[in-house]
């Protein structure tokens, strides 16, 4: 019974701290119940990261991104001739307008202001690193990079819905 309590305590700490057990093998540890302390993970509120879009219209950025449809996928690349990964594509598009953005997708987590799908507009950033191209009654189309087809426009379908994280607004000019 005691090892089970320790395992459950360890699992709750991993779950609440965002760790993944699929990457690490947990070794069973024998512990007495008086050694197990309750842990509280305090999640700090991270302020939104401001991206200075320099009054460039979101539509101009998306229109440029659409010229890249068909560029192949290449993990870790921001070079058009080699291909792009998802965040490399976004970096390339924004660099074209001399707008500095985070290089990796996880750094976009707090970029801008989170908004609902129904309120999203052309140019909003969508989780998985894409740009909203269209929103018709909450049904999104977005441009992104796919391993199988490179830069492409997709709809929010049964493949993407379970992977959807959120939509962030970084533009003030649409």
The pLDDT of 112-131, averaged and rounded, is: 93
Please give the domain boundaries of the chain with CATH numbers for all domains. 2-35 (no CATH), 58-169 (3.90.1720.10)
Which DSSP string do the residues of 119-137 spell out, in sequence order?
Answer: G--TT-EETTTEEEEEEET
22-47: average pLDDT:
48
What pLDDT does 46 receive? 64
Quick: pLDDT tens for 36-73: 444 455 555 666 788 999 999 999 999 999 999 999 99
Q: What burial class does residue 92 get, using C-beta atoms within 10 Å of its C-beta: 0-12 exposed, 13-18 middle, 19+ buried? A: buried
CA distances to 3, 79, 96 from 99, rounded to whole Å, are 53, 16, 8
Which has more confidence, 84 or 6? 84
Higher local confidence (pLDDT), 36 or 86: 86
pLDDT at 42: 57
Q: What pLDDT, on a 0 to 100 scale, did the predictor assign at position 116? A: 93
Give residue 163's pLDDT. 83
Confidence of residue 150 (pLDDT cuts 50, 70, 90): very high
What token pair was written down for 55?
A: 């009054």
pLDDT exceeds cutoff 90 at 106: no
d(CA 63, CA 26) in angstroms, rounded, equals 48
Q: What percent of the chain has pLDDT over 90?
A: 54
Residue 89 pLDDT: 97
């Amino acid at each position: 019974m005691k090892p089970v309590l320790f395992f459950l305590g360890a699992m709750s700490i991993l779950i609440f701290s965002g760790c993944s057990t699929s990457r690490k093998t947990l070794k069973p540890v024998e512990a007495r119940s008086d050694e197990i302390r309750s842990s509280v993970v305090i999640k700090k509120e991270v302020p939104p990261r401001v991206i200075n879009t320099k009054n460039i219209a979101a539509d101009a950025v998306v229109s440029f991104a659409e010229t890249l449809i068909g560029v192949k996928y290449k993990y870790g690349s921001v070079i058009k001739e080699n291909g792009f990964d998802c965040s490399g594509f976004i970096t390339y598009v924004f660099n074209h307008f001399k707008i500095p953005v985070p290089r990796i997708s996880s750094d976009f987590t707090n970029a801008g202001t989170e908004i609902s799908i129904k309120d999203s507009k052309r140019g909003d950033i969508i989780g998985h690193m894409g740009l909203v191209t269209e929103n018709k009654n909450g049904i999104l189309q977005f441009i992104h990079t796919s391993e199988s087809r490179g830069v492409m426009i997709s709809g929010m379908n049964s493949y993407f819905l379970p992977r959807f994280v959120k939509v962030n607004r970084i533009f003030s000019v649409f």
